Amino acid sequence: MLAVEDLSFAYTRGGEELFGGLSHAFTPGRVTAVTGPSGRGKSTLLYVLGLMLTPTRGRVLLEGGPVSEASDSTRSRVRAARFGFVFQDAALDPSRRVLDSVIEPALYAGWSRKAARARGRVLLEQLGMAARADHRPGEISGGQGQRVAVCRALVTDPVVVLADEPTGNLDRHNAEGVLRALSAATDGATGEGGRARTVVIATHDPFVLEHADEVLAL
Ligand code: ADP
Ligand code: MG
């Protein structure tokens, strides 16, 4: 479903080359942890998989077709419709209520406000955050904020979820909650079509590595 072929990426011409011709197929229905020392390119790989950066060599395939070579507008459309992101240290807009933060990607992807709010409430309920739907980020804890970020990533029912160090600043209890939510997302349990999703987590958290289905070491 999601794969890379002969992938390399350099931020500058002639600069350090990351990934060194990596080929890898990510398994739908599985959580893959991408690990490796700091600076090895874990975050960059998520940006390349998420079509925000274009490979220097090689390509990204989604459902068998090359997507990394598509036009900017096609990549934006694919990204909005097919991918969910949990960014590192995901900062929620402090002025917005939790539910409004969660539904933003769905509105961007063209959902009606009504459908987005219904879906957002289901996700908040599943992640134990229903009571916080109308709170603002200043009124919830860091762990709860990460769970909101996971809801945001799942709201469009994406086939691929990319999460960058989602447990980075969390204690074990909250890390478990976030990981459980991402794992549950793989089998489509939180989705509508019941499709298997591909979940990729960049991490150096031993707890996540231990519980991931597959590990890709950079
Ligand atoms: P990791 O997430 O594994 O710590 P990154 O993907 O953040 O690694 O970074 C990989 C390498 O690319 C590092 O050497 C980093 O300094 C460099 N890098 C990251 N972002 C940029 C950027 N925007 N411009 C130039 N170099 C960058
Ligand atoms: Mg990183």
49-75 mean pLDDT: 94
Alpha carbon 118 to chain centroid, angstroms: 21
Residue of 7, 8, 9, 11 to mutate, ligand 1, most atoms within 8 A of C-beta: 11
CB burial of residue 109 (10 Å; 0-12, 13-18, 19+): middle
Ligand 1 atom closest to the Cα of residue 164 is: 2
Ligand 2 center to residue 35 CA distance, Å? 10
Q: Ligand 1, closest atom to CA 218?
A: 3
Q: What is the pLDDT of residues 107-165, one digit of tens each?
A: 998 999 999 999 999 999 988 899 999 999 889 988 888 889 999 999 998 999 999 99
pLDDT for position 195:
67
Q: How many helices (H) and strands (E) does the chain have?
A: 7, 9
Compute the distance between CA of residue 33 and CA of residue 36 in angstroms, rounded to an integer: 10
Order of strands across the sheet with 65-66? Answer: 18-26, 2-9, 57-62, 65-66
In this predicted structure, what is the pLDDT of residue 169?
A: 76
CA distance 20 to 78: 26
The pLDDT score that the predictor gives to residue 90 is 64
pTM comes to: 0.92
Tens digit of each residue's pLDDT (9 = 90 or more) over 152-199: 999 998 999 999 999 887 888 888 888 988 888 887 654 455 568 899
Long-range contacts made by residues 110-115, C-beta under 8 angstroms, separation at least 24? 110/80, 111/156
Task: Region of 181 please: left (phi>0), alpha (psi -120 to 50) or beta.
Answer: alpha
State how far the Cα of 109 lies from the Cα of 52, in Å rounded to an integer: 16
Residue to probe by mutation, ligand 1, list 43, 45, 201, most atoms within 8 Å of CB: 43
Q: Does residue 122 sit in helix, strand or coil?
A: helix
The per-residue pLDDT for 185 is 81
